[in-house]
Amino acid sequence: MRVVIFGAPGVGKGTQAKLLSGKLKVPHISTGDILRHAATSGSLLGKKAKTIMDAGQLVSDDIMNGLIKPVLSSPKCKDGFILDGYPRTVAQAAALTKLLDDLKTRLDKVINVKLGDEEIVRRLSMRLSCKNCGRIYNIQFDMLADTKECLNCGGPLYQRDDDKEETVRKRLNVYHETTAPVKEYYEQMGLLKEIDGDGDPEMINSEILTALQFS
């Protein structure tokens, strides 16, 4: 199963991709996680990426296409993958089509998770992520101890720098201007399926699984 989970920042792409990855037994590939990992490692690419990410902007297509190619070509992705955060521009979508053509395969489905901007701003201001395992929490709904440790691995929970309201609004502008046109690209390929992102994550995941089964 080769799937793209698409949508604005904060619609729950990461949560949905993680759930699907566990159920379908294919790797979850998050370009945001790859960049954040590079940033913590202190590499030159990581440092550059962090400045761009903290400003709510997009890392260049060349860098992103170069970054994703070895991952999707690797043996771990040979039976499928759940892509989260890529492609984010029409040029990246075209590069992905070309890469999959070269690998003699294609996408099965692109799931567009929909949510209104104000709900996104509200959600992201309450989001905490685990520094170790990447699990995502909601300050309001998840029962977290004052120590703010991950319930999964005990790792420290933190608010991403780019989840501050001002940066979230910039990321939403970038999404509407540059990323949203990717939907039409996949609509024309007959791959797009829209899912409402407002609701219980497990219920949304069942809807996605149903959409994938009937693809």
Residue 123 appears among annotated catalytic residues: no
Angle in degrees, CA 39, 49, 97, rounded to 5: 115
In 3D space, the residue among 117, 110, 122, 136 whose CA is nearest the CA of residue 174 turns out to be 117
Kindly tell me which of 121 and 213 has the beta carbon lying closer to ligand AMP: 121
CB of 146 to ligand AMP, least distance (A): 27
Asked whether position 171 contacts ligand AMP by CB under 6 A, the answer is: yes
Residue 106 appears among annotated catalytic residues: no
In 3D space, the residue among 200, 179, 188, 214 whose CA is nearest the CA of residue 5 turns out to be 179
**Which tokens go with 96?**
């992905």
Catalytic member of 18, 36, 127, 193: 127
CB of 87 to ligand AMP, least distance (A): 6
Distance separating alpha carbons of residues 39 and 100, to the nearest angstrom? 28
In sequence order, the 6+-apart residues with CB closer than 8 A to the CB of 77 are 26, 27, 29, 71
Catalytic member of 2, 18, 88, 135: 88
Residue 88 appears among annotated catalytic residues: yes
Active site (catalytic) residues: 13, 88, 127, 160, 171
Q: Which residues bind ligand AMP (CB under 6 A)?
A: 9, 31-32, 35, 52-53, 57-59, 64, 85-86, 88, 92, 162, 171
